[in-house]
Amino acid sequence: MSYLTPTTLDAALGALSGRDTEAPVSVIAGGTDWFPAQGERAYNGTLLDVTRVEGMRGVSAVGTGWRIGGATTWSDILHADLPPAFDGLKLAAREVGSVQIQNAGTVAGNICNASPAADGVPPLLSLDAEVELTSTRGVRRLVLAEFITGVRKTARAADEIVTALYIPALSAGARGGFTKIGGRKYLVISVAMVGAVLTLSGGRIATARITVGSASPVALRMGDLENALVGADLAEALERVTPERLAALSPISDIRGSAEFRGEAVVEAIRRTLTQIMKGQAHG
Amino acid sequence: MSDILALAPRFGSNSGQSLTRRDGVAKVTGTATFAADNHPDGLLYAVYVPATIARGTVTHLDVAAAKAHPGVVEVITPENRPPLAGDPDSKPFMFAFRFEALQNNTVRYANQPIALVLAETFEAATEGARLLNPLYDAQQPRMGLDGDAPFTPESGGLGLPGTTVHGDIDAGHAASAQDIDVTYETPEQYHNAMETHAVVAQWNGDHVTLDIPSQAIVMQRGAFGYYFGIPPENVTIRSPYLGGGFGSKAIINGPQILAILAARMTGRPVKLMLSRDQMFGPSGHRGATRQRLRIGIDTDHRMTVLDHNSLATTSTFDTFVESAANASQGLYAAGALRSAHQGVRIDAGTPGPVRAPGEAPGSAALECAMDEMAYKAGIDPLEFRLKNYAETEPGTGKPYSSKALRDCYAQGAARFGWAGRPLAPRQMTDENGMLVGWGMGTALFAAPMFAAQARAVLRPDGTGLVETAASDMGQGAWTALAQIAADSLGLPMDRIEFRSGTSDLPDAGIAGGSAHTATAGGALHAAGTDAIRRLAELATGDPDSPLYGAGNAGVIARDGRLHARDDDTRSESFADIITRAGGAEVEGKGSASRTAEASAAHAMYSHGAVFAEVKVDPDLFQIRVTRLVGAFAAGRIINPKLTESQLMGGMIWGISFALHEEARFDQRTGRIMNADLAGYHIPVNADVSGLEVITVHEDDPHVNPLGIKGVGEIGITGTVGAIGNAIWHATGTRVRHFPIRIPDLLTGA
Ligand SMILES: Cc1cc2nc3c(=O)[nH]c(=O)nc-3n(C[C@H](O)[C@H](O)[C@H](O)COP(=O)(O)OP(=O)(O)OC[C@H]3O[C@@H](n4cnc5c(N)ncnc54)[C@H](O)[C@@H]3O)c2cc1C
């Protein structure tokens, strides 16, 4: 096994391109998903650690939007100075594993791992995040909903690195929120979670982006609900969160919770997230 | 004061002080060497291959592939496993349980060893183990409490509870004005000590040295000697530090035996340490229980009958039935009492003692049933318990050696603010709209004693040396026992050396049954007293000593000097006495155990009362324990800080039992689906808040000369029931199994 720690993107991309399958190369960042998944098997391939590549880490304003570097950790997100639309992402960052996990684990790793229970995905979908993929062949951008294609499946090609996530321009006054349901208070995999970004006008919802995680193979935006919420004040909004408007979800029963509970809990979790945001209680 | 000692024991100097753990610095600085920290020259690493089926046979192992891996030195399978002198399927001594040591190719549970790989590095051994790629002939495993027909175990000690009946059960049922008949279930639980099981084995001829975490250091010499055909004195066990034990490190397991065997086979030292997932198999666990409780009360709310029946899972090849129903003995003054046990054989490893064996699940069910009965009767649950307070041991009528349970109830209730609690559920909410519930439970744990010996030496320089092979599992034995020894010698802590943790020292008994401090402490105290007696003989018989003629019983030891009891100005230092007598060390020996007469004369228990507050989210049903107050009476408290930590640890275990812990078996394969600490949940720090421990004063003149009971296990009892009852009180939903999880509350919404 060899462990590569390139400091330039070219070197990193070079290490990934043109490899045959005999000697696999795995990209890792924090390794907090990769190593546990590997289990006890000895790994004979190459590990390509992208965390030292120049420009891969950190959050910055670019043009009218924001760029989250492909090796940005959850702690980086927490400590970044970001507008209230990111409060949901920050709340999620606080609840990814423990502080140790947040110091090592990255946003890109979270979406590449593509677990249905990935806490980063609902807030990022609600922020309309786009994923920048780079290889020696070039650069492309996909919206996050197209990037994650299934349980632990993404559109990333083997020679591509997620170099950044982009958050497009946010309307002034957009605010985010996040609610996670877990069996204990901390260090717990989500039973279900909700990420939302709202814009408000005169106490009423002008636009809503609501995403539910862990209740379908890939976290889903609740389009019907988002439309129905437009124009609602808080009381109306809470009423409009109905199971029928969440019909796109397909929760399963597993070791963490029953399908029935997930179905009921997401209704309440959405209501709480809306309340959190509309009452100004979501502080990332 | 004691009626057992001829003299009043001399307490004061160190006993009772909250000294910090003597092993603390070594542990936080990393200099403490645990078993697997030993790396003798020529060390081989052993990794065992765990079965991935629960029932069947191993049909193929790719030994050639494993052996071909660089660094792999040997692969042991049933084909080439050298013979053992003692049969792993025999039960030759107390605490012997059958285990798998490659005696054949059958698989009796998932995670049992089916091969052992030895290599120059841990990594090579791990990869070699993977390359064995076992093939199986698998059969459908029998799982769960309904997995097979129940059987009734014969009564016979640890893991073999019989049926105990006091009074006329039928009459008790018939006499009841009101009754309940409820059934509670508890799951399989795996005690996961921080330090997983490990051994470093080195042979020298027919002598073996084992660095191994052990809760029974001297006793286990004989056990290991039996399996390897050598006398106990040829086995040296070194166990200075243990990262927890919880009962599992008193029992021998197959992987350890295989590692020791491998060391003899290869002529090289061998190290084996279980991985976390391997802790879910060969090293014991708590069996699942299904407990039916029938309680009857008369019109005055006095219990006419307490009828407790428990079914527990055990393995197909040995019997350890959790003695859950025995929790109903010894506590409430019911007119008639029955504790009956049955077992069911499933394809899992053999259960074993897990912190508060029997008492933990038994108390959980009993205390919830008591709550149900109280509610049905329309009275406060604490009042109901006081109404049925036992002044003498129920059934036997024996007097208690001491019982400050009333004080526990009173002090715990006052601290918690129990008064004014509404009887009906779902009455209280907090400022955030959370449902609030209060519940309580009684804690009870027997105060047994094992047998121990100790040695105490006074040196010419006035310092002392005390020796006993105690086990410090993190509970603080090194500290509390040294306090007792220092006190008995009349020396400050910094002037005694305490040797412990190796098998060449006097037997300290088992660090279990919450009896270690009482037993080993008793022996140390006796040894110290004996040394002081001999020293006093030297002084009082020597015309040159200021103590000449004071008489042996007329002196007391304090701060390195003997003083005349009736004249404090007459005194002489230990060093002067010994030097004048020729400079030979003065040795004392002591032992401690409980006589049959003492056991017959009194019922001996620690008691407590636990009060819990929970908050339940009315919509998401998330459950949080927000306050937990436990008041415990456990005789003399040697070190309040360590004692409170033990009790808190027990109560946190109670939170874990009530809300989190459960091994989930895949019914098709018999494998545990959550065999790691990511899936097998215990509370995290953020789940524990508002925890308070009160130690209630209790003088016990009968339990042993030092008046010490145990605190290691009682904290779990009472707590589980208190939390279950609080959840009911918050929500109105009575969940009759543990752990109680979010979806369980859905149905009641
Ligand atoms: C104890 C523990 C608790 C956890 N708790 C949570 C939790 O509460 N919520 C949660 O959502 N997750 C949790 N996780 C999972 C994990 O920590 C997160 O998903 C984390 O964000 C992963 O980031 P990473 O950098 O460590 O990913 P890695 O493990 O390094 O990588 C994960 C995957 O992404 C790929 N990858 C990483 N970076 C790139 C890149 N730049 N370009 C291309 N591919 C890339 C890797 O090849 C790999 O397939 C937990 C993990 C542990 C060990």
Residue A283 lies in a domain: no
Would you say B185 and B357 are in contact if contact means Cβ atoms under 8 Å apart? no
- Evaluate whether the domain defined by B35-140+191-279 bears CATH number 3.30.160.160: no
Query: A76 with A131, same domain?
Result: yes
Q: Which of A40, A189, A276 to mutate to test the interface with B (most CBs of B within 10 A)?
A: A40
pLDDT at A282: 66
Whether residue A36 has a cis bond before it, omega within 30° of 0: no
Q: Is B713 a catalytic residue?
A: yes
B619/A187 Cβ within 8 A:
no
Give A20's pLDDT tier (boundaries 50, 70, 90). low
Query: A63 with A158, same domain?
Result: yes
Residue A133 lies in a domain: yes
Closest CA relative to residue B710, chosen from B367, B360, B449: B449
Q: Which residue has the higher pLDDT, A40 or B311?
A: B311
Query: A109 with A187, same domain?
Result: no
CA A105 – ligand 1 centroid, Å:
5
Residue B680 has pLDDT above 90, yes or no: yes
CATH of the domain at A100: 3.30.465.10
Closest CA relative to residue B338, chosen from B298, B366, B380, B373: B366
List pLDDT tens digits, range B358-394. Answer: 999 999 999 999 999 999 999 999 999 999 999 999 9
Whole-angstrom Cα distance, residue B22 to residue A89? 46
Query: A35 with A97, same domain?
Result: no
Domain B396-448+600-746 architecture: 2-Layer Sandwich (3.30)
Mean pLDDT of B123-146: 97
Mean pLDDT of B641-647: 96
What is the rounded average pLDDT for all residues in chain A? 94
B664/A189 Cβ within 8 A:
no
Query: A189 with A274, same domain?
Result: yes
List pLDDT tens digits, range A108-161. Answer: 999 999 999 999 999 999 999 999 999 999 999 999 999 999 999 999 999 999
User: Which burial class, exposed, middle or buried, applies to A20 when counting CB atoms under 10 A from its CB (0-12, 13-18, 19+)?
Assistant: exposed
Query: A140 with A218, same domain?
Result: no
CATH topology for B24-32+458-593? Answer: Aldehyde Oxidoreductase; domain 4 (3.30.365)
Q: What is the DSSP letter of B261?
A: H
CATH of the domain at A221: 3.30.390.50
Answer whether A164 contacts ligand 1 (Cβ < 6 A).
no
Answer whether A102 contacts ligand 1 (Cβ < 6 A).
no
CA B193 – ligand 1 centroid, Å:
28
Would you say A111 and A120 are in contact if contact means Cβ atoms under 8 Å apart? yes
Answer whether A50 contacts ligand 1 (Cβ < 6 A).
yes
- CB-based contact, A252 to chain B, within 8 Å: no
CA A28 – ligand 1 centroid, Å:
9
B674/A181 Cβ within 8 A:
no
- CB-based contact, A215 to chain B, within 8 Å: no
Minimum CA–CA partner of B686 in chain A: A185
Whole-angstrom Cα distance, residue B536 to residue B454? 20
Answer whether A33 contacts ligand 1 (Cβ < 6 A).
yes
Query: A203 with A244, same domain?
Result: yes
Would you say B369 and B376 are in contact if contact means Cβ atoms under 8 Å apart? no
B742/A183 Cβ within 8 A:
yes
Query: A240 with A189, same domain?
Result: yes
Torsion of CA B324, B329, B332, B337, to 10 degrees: 100
What is the rounded average pLDDT for all residues in chain B? 95
Whole-angstrom Cα distance, residue B521 to residue B592? 8
Chain A residues within 8 A of B126 when measuring between CB atoms: 40, 42
Among the three residues A109, A136, A167, which one is the final residue of a domain in this structure? A167
List pLDDT tens digits, range B295-346. Answer: 999 999 999 999 999 999 999 999 999 999 999 999 999 999 999 999 999 9
Mean pLDDT of B136-145: 97
Torsion of CA A50, A44, A147, A138, to 10 degrees: 60
Among the three residues A167, A201, A233, which one is the final residue of a domain in this structure? A167
Answer whether A29 contacts ligand 1 (Cβ < 6 A).
yes
- CB-based contact, A264 to chain B, within 8 Å: yes
Query: A10 with A78, same domain?
Result: no
Residue A246 lies in a domain: yes
Among the three residues A114, A146, A167, which one is the final residue of a domain in this structure? A167
Minimum CA–CA partner of A98 in chain B: B684
**How many CB pairs below 8 A link A and B?**
61
Mean pLDDT of B12-41: 87
Expressed as residue numbers, the domain containing A141 is 59-167
Residue A19 has pLDDT above 70, yes or no: no
pLDDT at A1: 81
Query: A150 with A232, same domain?
Result: no
Chain B residues within 8 A of A42 when measuring between CB atoms: 123, 126-127, 130
Closest CA relative to residue A42, chosen from B112, B192, B677, B71: B71
Would you say B197 and B187 are in contact if contact means Cβ atoms under 8 Å apart? no
Answer whether A32 contacts ligand 1 (Cβ < 6 A).
yes
* Distances from the Cα of A237 to the Cα of A205, A207, A273, B302, angstroms: 8, 12, 11, 55
Closest CA relative to residue B43, chosen from B259, B256, B226: B259
Closest CA relative to residue B183, chosen from B21, B327, B294, B284: B294
- CB-based contact, B678 to chain A, within 8 Å: yes
Residue A284 lies in a domain: no
Mean pLDDT of A23-36: 93
Minimum CA–CA partner of B673 in chain A: A255
A186/B126 Cβ within 8 A:
no
Comparing CB atoms, the residue among A40, A186, A268 nearest residue B684 is A186
List pLDDT tens digits, range B559-587. Answer: 999 999 999 999 999 999 999 999 999 99
Residue A277 has pLDDT above 60, yes or no: yes
* Distances from the Cα of B190 to the Cα of A187, B353, B452, B662, angstroms: 20, 10, 29, 8
Only one residue has tokens 């003597």, namely B22
Comparing CB atoms, the residue among A186, A257, A269 nearest residue B743 is A257
* Ordered alpha helix ranges (H), A27-119: 34-38, 74-79, 87-94, 99-104, 107-113
Query: A163 with A179, same domain?
Result: no
Residue A148 lies in a domain: yes
Phi and psi, residue B300, nearest 5°: -95, 15
Closest CA relative to residue B540, chosen from B563, B566, B512: B563
B127/A261 Cβ within 8 A:
no
B743/A260 Cβ within 8 A:
yes
List pLDDT tens digits, range B509-566. Answer: 999 999 999 999 999 999 999 999 999 999 999 999 999 999 877 999 999 999 999 9
Chain A residues within 8 A of B130 when measuring between CB atoms: 40-42
Q: Which residues pair with A199 in a beta bridge?
A: A207
List pLDDT tens digits, range B488-499. Answer: 999 999 999 999
Answer whether A177 contacts ligand 1 (Cβ < 6 A).
no
Is the dihedral angle over the CA atoms B725, B726, B732, B735 positive or is it negative? negative
Query: A37 with A71, same domain?
Result: no
How many structural domains are present in chain A? 3
Residue B451 has pLDDT above 70, yes or no: yes
Task: Region of B5 please: left (phi>0), alpha (psi -120 to 50) or beta.
Answer: beta
Phi and psi, residue B201, nearest 5°: -110, 130
User: B684-721: string of b/e by CB count within 10 Å (b at 16+)?
Assistant: eeebbeebbbbbbebebbbbbbbbbbbbbbbbbbbbbb
Residue B614 has pLDDT above 50, yes or no: yes
pLDDT at A22: 63
Mean pLDDT of B419-443: 97
Residue B90 has pLDDT above 80, yes or no: yes
pLDDT at A283: 66
Residue A54 lies in a domain: no
Whole-angstrom Cα distance, residue A129 to residue A200? 21
Whole-angstrom Cα distance, residue B275 to residue B281? 11
Name the segment(s) of chain B with CATH classification 3.30.365.10.
Answer: 24-32+458-593, 35-140+191-279, 396-448+600-746
Q: Which of B620, B626, B689 to mutate to test the interface with A (most CBs of A within 10 A)?
A: B620
